[in-house]
Chain A
Amino acid sequence: MSALITRPNIADPDGFYARLLATHKGLSEGQSHALNARLVLILANHIGEAAALEAAMVLARDGA
């Protein structure tokens, strides 16, 4: 059992999604990639736990 939460865990999914897009608004594609990279690092630190991070990376890589 991985420590990664994969069941819905965000109270307002549509609201979150809209906020994510809004955060990128007005940025070039390059700037958006850079923002995403920073966001990954910030969220990864918040999670902290190696097993959860590992499971997240495996899930993200799946099908790529």
Chain B
Amino acid sequence: MPYDYRPFDYVPPAGLREAEPRHPVVIVGAGPVGLAMAIELANHGVRAVVVDDNNVVSVGSRAICWSKRSLEILDRLGVGQPCVEKGVIWQVGRTYHREAEVFNFDLLPEDGHKMPAFVNLQQYWVEAFLVARAVELGVDLRWKNRVTGVVQGADHVALSIETPDGTYALQADYVVACDGARSPLRGMLGLEFEGELFEERFLIADIEMEADFPSERRFWFEPGFHAGQSALLHKQPDNIYRIDLQLGWDTDPEVERQPERILPRIERVVGHRDFSLDWTSIYTFQCRRMRSFVQDRVIFAGDSAHVVSPFGARGGNSGLQDVDALGWRLAAVLRGEAPAAALMAYDCERVHGADENLMNSSRSTRFMSPGAGVERLFRDAVLHLAGRADFARPMVNSGRLSKPCTYPLEAPDHPALPQAARPGSVAPDAPQGDGWLIDALGGRFVLVAFGEAPELPGLPVLRPQPNAAVIKRWLGSEVTALYLVRPDQVIAARWVSASAEEVAAALLAAQEGRT
């Protein structure tokens, strides 16, 4: 079934009649990042206004692969369950050269996690769930409200907004720019977007058909059905399949866009004509980011701040991690509990994350679409060897799928504790009776204790049941441990034992962004 796009109601905003009081936060853009941001802020007690120039969810499925970390974040926002229920769960990827499988990966080889490695779900579904949740929480969502001007004041930001009924002004303490890759706000502020544009074109098609393809990601280099190029196949819910076909830079996008060109290409992939085209698009890749995501009182998050090529699913997933790193900090600044400087920790952490994503995404793109000469020579050498020698297989790069980075924190650490739970990493999940550790952590600062725990006012202590998964992921060979976990479920500091003063100092440093 193709998605049934229902426009959201435009309601003439109060600001058209009389000046509105200053809002704490205006979020520009109701894509996945803007919507998630609004819900995250609402969870931290901040009521944001969201303005979007459109009045429907994402047209075309665009992002389909949502990572474990994104699902954990979406779950905290209240939409994890519908996403997992509706989506196609997968964790294995297979890469082929011509007809032979040359590499495969399993993204979550161990169990004992609430969320699966990946779920494939069309972006419009994720946005629809987020909109419903935002409405439930009373978020002020304003459709058909287009930002046309922005002025940074000393203690606020002023926006000009165009609606079907005319233009009005809004003031906010902070603006979060979630207005996508072409970010009009970035342009209005005259900010640069730096990086690489790859000279490659891909055809992307969502088709509807009855098939029993496995729930796996399949990628082909130089398949017989698409000579000399590469191809990617993903399964989505509702009998929809995503096919990406590399076209080469010298193809004419206007010609390739025509259904009479697309249909025979797809037919060669699936082996028959018994499918319908749901959505198609032709795209080129960019790997770019802003130099800094915090520009005084305008903060950039998601595609407005950084864009990557789609191989690796690092776009939407990294945008949700931006929300994770920004929400609690912005809420604390607005409540007067943290200095504005704490926002620079968001900038620092997410620039680090963006660089890791850009590096992985440009490496994959370079492998898939090598430049003429030596790049092509080595790429072909790897593919040639991959069928003959095991060592070459992990060099085959069809995309390295999104994983949260470990932030470079300068924080107390006890290196003998498990490496995966070192400061800066997302706290590992584990089963807890009928529930999950990730849920018990919630969205606040919490002290996770194995053994003695110092008492600090306002810092709840969580004592997980030490089952096998907990011991492996949190204790290793140690018997006691203390972890300070942030509201975004990132580990801020850890010890085998610590005094109240040590924990308090680490807590203050994390709150003030001094890590």
A interface residues with partner B (beta carbon < 8 Å)? 33-34, 37-38, 40-42, 45
Contacts and interface: CB of A to CB of B under 8 A. Distances in A.
Contacts of A42: 385, 389, 391
B375 to A, nearest CB: 11
Top 6 A-B residue pairs of the complex, sorted by shortest distance between their CB atoms: A37-B381, A45-B391, A38-B381, A37-B377, A37-B378, A38-B385
B35 to A, nearest CB: 43
Contacts of A34: 377, 380-381, 384
B395 A41 contact: yes
B377 A41 contact: no
Interface string B391-413: 11001000000000000000000
A22 to B, nearest CB: 20
A41 B380 contact: no
Nearest to B384: A38
Contacts of B392: 41, 45
10 contacts: A34-B380, A34-B384, A37-B374, A37-B378, A38-B381, A41-B382, A41-B385, A41-B391, A41-B395, A42-B389
Interface of B: 374, 377-378, 380-382, 384-385, 389, 391-392, 395
B377 A33 contact: yes
Q: Which interface residue of A33, A41, A45 has the most chain B CB atoms within 10 A?
A: A41
B364 to A, nearest CB: 18
A45 B393 CA distance: 12
Nearest to B378: A37
A28 B384 CA distance: 17
A42 to B, nearest CB: 7
Contacts of B391: 41-42, 45
Nearest to A35: B381
Contacts of B385: 38, 41-42
B97 to A, nearest CB: 14
Contacts of A33: 377
Given A42-B389, A45-B389, 20 more contacts: A33-B377, A34-B380, A34-B381, A34-B384, A37-B374, A37-B377, A37-B378, A38-B381, A38-B384, A38-B385, A40-B378, A40-B381, A41-B378, A41-B381, A41-B385, A41-B391, A41-B392, A42-B385, A42-B391, A45-B392
Contacts of A38: 381, 384-385
A57 B118 CA distance: 38
Contacts of B381: 34, 37-38, 40-41
Nearest to A33: B377
A24 to B, nearest CB: 15
B70 to A, nearest CB: 32
Q: Which interface residue of B381, B382, B392, B395 has the most chain A CB atoms within 10 A?
A: B381
A34 B383 CA distance: 11
B378 to A, nearest CB: 5
A37 B391 CA distance: 15
B209 to A, nearest CB: 39
B221 to A, nearest CB: 16
Contacts of B377: 33-34, 37
Contacts of A45: 389, 391-392
Contacts of A41: 378, 381-382, 385, 391-392, 395
B391 to A, nearest CB: 4
Contacts of A37: 374, 377-378, 380-381
Contacts of A40: 378, 381
Contacts of B395: 41
Nearest to B390: A45
A37 B377 CA distance: 7
A37 B374 CA distance: 9
